[in-house]
Amino acid sequence: MPASIKYSENDLVVLLKDKDEKAFSYLYDNYSGALYGVILKVIPEEEAARDILQEAFVKIWRNINGYDKLRGKLFTWMLNIARNCAIDALRSKRYRNDQKIRQLDNNVNLNVAYLSVSQNVDHLGLKTVLASLNEEQRRIIDLAYFKGYTQEEIAREMDMPLGTVKTRVRNALIQLKDILK
Amino acid sequence: MSLDIQQYIASGIIESYVLGLSSEQETKDVEENAMQHQEVSHAIENYRNSLEKYASLQAVSPPQELKAKIWRAIQTEPTAPLEVRGESDAVAPLISPEKNRFQQTGQSLIRYFAAAATVLLLVSATLNVIYLAKYRRVRNSYDQLIVSRNDLITQNQVYQTRISQVESEAAIIHEPGIKPIVMEGVKEHPGMRATVYWNAQSKNVYLAVNRLPLPPAYMQYQLWAIVDGKPVSEGVFDLDQADHALQKMASVSNAQAFAITLEKRGGTVAPTMSNMYVMGKS
């Protein structure tokens, strides 16, 4: 699927600001997987995740003029948009209600998204990373980065003192950085 | 690198910031420091890169048809008042290439559009009123539906619990090798009855009370297995469970008979024979 042309982030931003269809195509081909993966992390349910991916792309498209490269990479910016869309959806009442019905209907459904993750993931890379982080470190990163939990929420969720969260966060990130060097 | 900045970086604040965990004040602080010190902005950059790599490793290809669907949504979206912020951006490029043509046709076209727009606005305002009323009605019945649906969910959960309880009991009774031993009331307590389901292979013992009088609060029934002529305690039990619920009792491998006596709460080491209620041979 990768496009034959490769744009730099700078060129891509210029094309996007011109609302160029090729730019969308390139953007989608290169980033939709990562964004979709992030969304699925927050909401592991494919139908909802697809809607959120669409919402995220529309937002990216329409707010591209608000992107400022001095404040960070394009990818960071897009990732934040996708993540926030997903977190908003997760916290919205509608999704929670849907979720309740779904649990009654069929518990198996919830795992569908995880199944398809394994088909597309860079297996070796992810496995190495996951193996080098312990369960706690993975959860801290997932809760904070993907699900947007606050320190207090993490402390409650993981049943650890607030002061400990900070130390563990630091260790988890240092570990991740070392693995992905 | 100055010592202060080194300490600042080592304090863990940058990690909190990158993960979105820092407070408003801390966030401001980190961003100011990042502008002044390259070490700080580098540290931030490094962490962001790792997290992005981590996210990319978990990429999932969305279904193929989604790309075209999103492109369509992007093209139709600007007309929908979904988001105020991006609206002007989206409209601008649509108009600018067309500008020349509009100028040629002149003022009349603008007047025509203005009239059309006024009519549309009136129609839209009327529809708004109608739809608002409609919306309120629907909203009302929607809320009612939610309430009754939640009731149904609760009921459903109760039934599911019951079903699974019955299912697990049925599974126990149909376990291969299980043998029901009916204990009938002794002379002093005619008509009383309890059943032991005993699996001699797995040694599991389950008890179902069919009919026993409710004991006073300081007393409890105790099940006994008779092994080689001697009573072995199988444990005490209460009657407050659902009538036919199976209770798992102590395992026993070689029992010739089972019996139930009424003892002081907590049970005893040896059965009080005068308080025996039911008994059955295996």
Per-residue confidence in pLDDT tens, chain A, 181 aa = 444 567 777 888 888 877 778 888 888 988 899 999 999 988 888 899 999 999 999 999 888 888 887 777 888 889 889 988 998 888 775 556 655 555 444 444 344 444 444 434 455 667 777 778 888 888 898 888 888 888 888 999 899 998 888 888 888 988 888 888 7
Q: Residue A58: which of B21, B63, B73 has the nearest Cβ? A: B73
Question: Is the minimum CB–CB distance between B152 and chain A shorter than 8 Å?
Answer: no
In tens, the pLDDT along B174-214 reads 888 889 999 999 999 999 999 999 998 889 899 988 889 88
pLDDT at A99: 55
Q: Residue B48: which of A41, A72, A151 has the nearest Cβ? A: A72
Q: Could A54 and B70 be called an inter-chain contact, meaning their C-beta atoms sit closer than 8 Å? A: yes
SS3 label, residue B221: strand
Dist. CA B101–CA A128, nearest whole Å: 60
User: Do the bridges between strand B205-211 and strand B276-281 make them parallel or antiparallel, or are there none, so unpaired?
Assistant: unpaired
pLDDT surpassing 70 at residue B58? yes
Q: What is the mean pLDDT of residues B21-39?
A: 89
ipTM over 0.95: no
Chain B environment of A177 (Cβ under 8 Å): 46-47, 50
Q: Could A117 and B54 be called an inter-chain contact, meaning their C-beta atoms sit closer than 8 Å? A: no
**Lookup: tokens for A131:** 């193996």
> Are B260 and B226 within 8 A, CB to CB?
no
Residue B210: in which H helix or E strand, if any?
Answer: strand B205-211
Dist. CA B234–CA B196, nearest whole Å: 11
| CB-defined contacts A:B, below 8 A | 156
| B278: region left, alpha or beta (phi > 0 left; psi from -120 to 50 alpha) | beta
Chain B environment of A13 (Cβ under 8 Å): none
Q: What is the mean pLDDT of residues B235-251?
A: 78
- DSSP string of B131-196? HHHHHHHHHHHHHHHHHHHHHHHHHHHHHHHHHHHHHHHHHHHTSTTEEEEEEEE-TTSTT-EEEE
Measure in Å the smallest separation between the Cα of A141 and chain B Cα atoms: 8
Least confident range from A69-73, B89-93, B128-132: namely B89-93
pLDDT at B1: 55
Question: Is the minimum CB–CB distance between B52 and chain A shorter than 8 Å?
Answer: yes
Measure in Å the smallest separation between the Cα of A100 and chain B Cα atoms: 9
- DSSP string of A61-126? HHHGGG--GGGS-HHHHHHHHHHHHHHHHHHSHHHHHHHHHHHHH-GGGGGHHHHHHHHHS-HHHH
pLDDT at A96: 60
Q: What angle do CA B129, B133, B134 make, to 5 degrees?
A: 115
pLDDT at B256: 93
Q: Could B153 and A41 be called an inter-chain contact, meaning their C-beta atoms sit closer than 8 Å? A: no
> Are A175 and A137 within 8 A, CB to CB?
yes
Q: What angle do CA B65, A120, B62 make, to 5 degrees?
A: 20
